[in-house]
Chains A and B, each alone.
Chain A
Amino acid sequence: MAAHTSKRMTIAGCEIELLQGGAGPALVFLHGAGGAQSWMPYMDRLAEHYTVYVPSHPGWGRSDTPDWLDGMGDLAYFYLNFLDALGEDEVHLVGNSLGGWLALEIAVRSTARIQTLTLVSAAGIHLAGVPKGDIFLWDDDERVYNTFFDRKLAEARLAKQPSEEDADIALKNHFSTAKMAWHPRFYNPVLQKWLHRITVPTLIMWGDSDKIFPPAYGDAMHKLIPGSTLTIVPECGHLPHQEKLDDFIAGVTAHTARHDTRHNSGAAS
């Protein structure tokens, strides 16, 4: 496992936890509803190619829940400050699910710090006639089963008995997810009018069997973001970076290598 650190960082009066590991071009991973409070295999694999930064959003994990946190716009502005404070000129920005929505909200505001964008099963838009899964009406088991294509992965996840701290964090993450995404459900009606503002190279990656945001959402996002590339990952649910880690790493490294003009390290492996 790559060496990694956890540090605290304060922005806009809010202290967050930031995981960091690896070396190379800077990559910021914006986690989804479930959070990213521990060092995961996908972070480890990314750290073979990049200096990986994984912040826990305000309201998630061991980060503070600030009084000002009312919606995704607040998180977007927070992260614009975060990117200014990180000490990197530009980053490869990767976001999954709610974190993908967040990446879109950041990018329509400013791409000044964004070298490339990778959206993995991203929330943020609405597609008429394509119902999304309702993570708030599913029970805990349904939520896990509907996250993965491979039932065995879901069963393995459910078999794990979380520590009390992890259970509390999971609940905190779920509460914050609701606050951001309850209504309109996992999207911002304004956002899709302005996605054409995103002119940085964008990769959209989607599991072919995503039950939360069906792959038609990836297709719609691809049409809304000029010059974007769409990759559908076969036999994969909502978390390609967990369920199909090799595909995820291959996709991200190829995408950043194609567009990384100043560093030349992204094409390794």
Chain B
Amino acid sequence: MKFYFFHLMPYQDIDPDFLETNKSSWINLPNTYYDPKKGAKLYHRYLDEMELADELGFDGVCVNEHHQTAYGMMPSPNVLAGALSRRLKKATIGVIGRALPIVENPLVIAEEFAMIDNLMEGRFIAGFVRGIGCEYHASMTNPGFSHERFREAHDLIIRAWSEPGPFEFYGKHYHFQYVNIWPRPYQSPRPPIWIPSQGSTETVEFAAHPDRKYTYIITFSPVASVKNNLKAYRDQCEVFGYECPPDQLGWAMPAYVAETDEIARKEAAVHIESLFNKFIMSPPQYKLPPGYSSLSSYKAVMEGKYKVRQNYLTCDALIENGMFLCGSPSTVVEKLEEYQAEMGFGNIAPMLQFGTLPADLTEKNLRMFANEVMPKVRHLGVTPEVVAAE
């Protein structure tokens, strides 16, 4: 199993009562809540945490993209990947991912990812997402074209990486006379690709396709739905006529490890609750703009997930439904063994900093996870023969 420390980089110094006068921590939460002096310190602290993960033996570190929110300070994850690229000795960088549809020129993403891949001499994972609904309000990208633009931008980037340039590309949304990116990616024909998802059928079919075989990462989901979604992906691979290897499956979840289950809960509770009840908070119409999903999935999500999220999520409830992996090393190891046996994943991307979790507890969490969990489960979910270049 491979371990990727996934950082969301929340603006954790925010006034804790900000939701009393705002509906959302996204889109229109006034940026006067952001203090650059505090923010700058947080950036450096968070980057230090990622460098520590490298020293502790994590296989990689991951960043992602969100806009206009206290939830994460990474509107441009590639800036942070650039900052990390000269400091990481062994770890891979995963940008999981960039939101393809919300840019007007996807070649910028192809170029920047190729630059990081060169700087890292191939220790780079490219992540592609549509971006959550809030990004469509922030960028004014029409959510009704989200799927079309994702597929088209994806095709353009893949071709830009793997076909000799210059060539022309004329799509419905993107039009280029000369596609000819410099630099080309370091990895040939391209970097490995991860598709973080919350489990849509369209995404499963897209990622599992034999032409792609992208690593499918389930994020922020109760363990029951992680199981269903990873199973759906494995089943889809079978439909396509191949067996899904462990390295094509992953799970990203907040995690906290301490000396005992009780200490872990006690130390993590207020911070994990701040993530799920404050930093992630926005009304449904912020998260699901019209056209972002099909009419039928829109109705299903409104009825299902968002009704659940209207309740305050306690630390105990989050541990109970498996959205939060928390406990003593032996508890966490047992759970990972059980889940891995059942779901067959070969990657996990634990978020070992979350919400308001302070520097000292984050460091403790990183060390305990690296020293007492990773060695015990590393042998699980290893893909028998790693095929060079997918």
**Which A residues lie at the B interface, using CB under 8 A?**
70, 136-139, 168, 171-172, 174-175, 177-179, 182-185
A174 to B145: give the CA distance in the assembly, Å.
Answer: 15
Contact for A175 among B28, B284, B286, B291, CB less than 8 A: B291
Contact for A183 among B27, B142, B299, CB less than 8 A: B142
Distance of B300 from chain A, by nearest CB (Å): 12
Contacting pair B144 A139 (CB below 8 A)? no
Can you list 19 residue pairs at the A/B interface with Cβ under 8 Å? A136-B137, A136-B290, A137-B28, A138-B285, A171-B295, A172-B295, A175-B290, A175-B295, A175-B298, A177-B290, A178-B143, A178-B289, A179-B144, A179-B291, A182-B136, A182-B141, A182-B291, A183-B141, A184-B140
Question: Interface 1/0s, chain B 297-314, versus A by CB < 8 A?
Answer: 011000000000000000
Q: Which residue of A lies closest to B27 (CB)?
A: A137
Distance of A24 from chain B, by nearest CB (Å): 37
What 7 A-B pairs come out closest when comparing CB atoms? A179-B144, A178-B290, A182-B142, A183-B140, A175-B290, A174-B290, A178-B291
Q: Which residues of B contact A137 (CB under 8 A)?
A: 27-28, 137, 285-286
Q: Which residues of B contact A183 (CB under 8 A)?
A: 140-142
A152 to B286: give the CA distance in the assembly, Å.
Answer: 27
Contacting pair B299 A171 (CB below 8 A)? yes
Q: Which residues of B contact A184 (CB under 8 A)?
A: 140
Question: Interface 1/0s, chain B 74-114, versus A by CB < 8 A?
Answer: 00000000000000000000000000000000000000000
**Which B residues lie at the A interface, using CB under 8 A?**
27-28, 136-137, 140-145, 283-286, 289-291, 295, 298-299
Q: Which residue of B lies closest to A182 (CB)?
A: B142
A172 to B291: give the CA distance in the assembly, Å.
Answer: 9
Beyond A137-B28, A175-B290, whether A182 also contacts B143 by CB under 8 A is yes
Q: Which residues of B contact A139 (CB under 8 A)?
A: 283-285
A196 to B141: give the CA distance in the assembly, Å.
Answer: 30
Contacting pair B295 A136 (CB below 8 A)? no
Q: Which residue of B lies closest to A184 (CB)?
A: B140
Contact for B144 among A171, A178, A185, CB less than 8 A: A178
